[in-house]
Structure 1
Amino acid sequence: MLHAITPPAKDDVFVTKLLDKLKVEYEPEMVPIRPEPYAKPLNCFPNVMEKVKRDGGRIHYGWAIHKTTILCEAERHAVWEDEQEKFVDITPTEVQAEYTLFAPDNEGFEYTGQATDNVRINITGNPVVDDFIRVNETLSKIHAYGTREVDMYMSLPDAALELHHYYQALKNALQEFIYMGGTPKKRCLCQGPDRYKNCHGKSIGPRTKADLRKLKAILGKAGRSA
């Protein structure tokens, strides 16, 4: 039997730090997850828009707060607000869960198809996690050159697609390295002769900046209309 994933507590110290970084006005709350039959995972904005068409109410924007053993992370999210101003998360999750920790943040945001990166903080003392965050941010900037086609499928120009493949593989390798106990003083994730801090730990920062500059030179400024 699968056990539901429990969201972090509202008063968790890292949740508090993340909310300070987000500068949201309202306190987060536990919102029940009750997926609609037509709702699709990772598709919260169209899901709630469809719910409003069918049943009234309105869409409410904010952030879904997640926590792992290495990160506390906020993901742009939408829930359905009924006529009594109660929130319901109608989007199915990829893992079994009963509640979403949701921080309301309607001000200044309206979904029109744009990509919005997650906001992350390192909850460990491991600098490799900072590199993992940097690679995730780089992937988001690459994805800003894409366009949505069917459902959540994204089409990327060739130059962006090539970088996507590289940084997605690096993200996966970094995550595995971290969960296997990787630190700056351990042998690098590439299995070369050097420690991480003298190999990928030294090159990731400069390379991400150089690759994004090159992508901008080829494709121009990203429209962020993914």
Structure 2
Amino acid sequence: MLHSTTPAKDDVFVTRLLDKLKVEFEPELVPIRPEPYAKMLNCFHNVEEKVKRDGGRIHYGWAIHKTTILCEAERHAVWEDEEEELVDVTPTEVQAEHTLFVSDNEGFEYTGQDTDNVRINITGNPIVDDFIRVNETLSKIHAYGTRESDMHMYLPDAALELHQYYEALKNALQGFIYMGGTPKKRCLCQGLDRYKNCHGKSIVPRIKADLRKLKTVLGEADRPA
């Protein structure tokens, strides 16, 4: 997993990401005060439990993170108290005092669906664009799943097979990028060609073909990823 940090509100890449999100509000730093019962990566249920215990309401939006290759927004929920102050009650994997949060509370309600992160490439390396495409493909595959619990999802065999392939490709791309991979370097598959003439040429056509095949076998996904 990529190590992420909380970017500054005026970071140029945050501005570009907000343009892509098309949100109405400006980002704000929301204090992180995890509740003892809260679990990492489980913000929606954490806030729902907080509301049951202490009142207030759930407030939806996006948490903004930055790595060395991406600036991305992740669907997120924080707790809003009676004075309309926001608090992030979900613990983070990396110790931090604040979440950079942008409100997007209208027209969204969490009902178990997966919502893909919104990402932008902050490097000049086009392989990062392929990494983003593969992540987006995984989200489209998840749309065929049925959530069995907060952390587990059932996927039909056709979707599961593709998921395994693209999850492995995502990890390979990430490692390749961090090892200094560029389009002119030997491909991540260790074939004789450069990346641009090997996987760099085949990823986009394969994604299109695989998603068409999945739609043929399983039909339209019941809900958007």
Please, what TM-score do these two structures have when normalized by structure 2?
0.96
Tell me the amino acid that sits aligned with residue 112 of structure 1: T
Match of 1:208 in 2: 207
Taking every aligned residue pair, what percent have the same amino acid on both sides?
A: 86
- How big is the alpha-carbon RMSD for the aligned residues of Structure 1 and Structure 2? 1.2
2:40–2:91 CA contact under 8 A, matched in 1: yes
Summarize the alignment of residues 2-13 of structure 1 with structure 2, pairs less than 5 Å apart. Answer: 6-13=5-12
CA contact 2:183–2:200 (8 Å) conserved in 1: yes
Q: What does residue range 78-89 of structure 1 map to in structure 2 within 5 Å?
A: 78-89=77-88
Name the counterpart of 1:223.
222
Structure 2 residue runs without a partner (length 5+): none
Q: Equivalent residue of 1:73, what SS? A: strand
| SS of match in other structure, 1:184 | coil
Question: Structure 1 unaligned runs (5+)?
Answer: none
Matching of residues 41-52 of structure 1 within 5 Å: 41-52=40-51
Partner SS for 1:190: coil
Q: How many equivalent residue pairs? A: 222
Equivalent residues in 2 for 1:148-167, closer than 5 Å? 148-167=147-166
Secondary structure of 2:99's match? strand
Which residue of structure 2 lines up, in the alignment, with residue 184 of structure 1? 183
CA contact (8 A) 1:24 1:105 kept: yes
For 1:224 and 1:139, how far apart are their aligned partners in 2?
A: 14
Residues 129-168 of structure 1 mapped to structure 2, 5 A cutoff: 129-168=128-167
Secondary structure at the aligned position of 1:107 is classed as coil
Moved >4 Å (runs of 4+): none
- Partner AA of 1:47 in structure 2: N
How far residue 224 of structure 1 moved from its aligned partner, in angstroms, is 2.9
What is the distance in 2 between the residues matched to 1:124 and 1:223?
Answer: 35
Deviation at 1:42, TM superposition (A): 1.1
For residues 131-174 of structure 1, the C-alpha deviation after alignment (integer angstroms, 9 at most, x for no partner) is 00000000000011111112211111111111111000000000
Between the aligned partners of 2:47 and 2:20, the Cα distance in structure 1 is 26
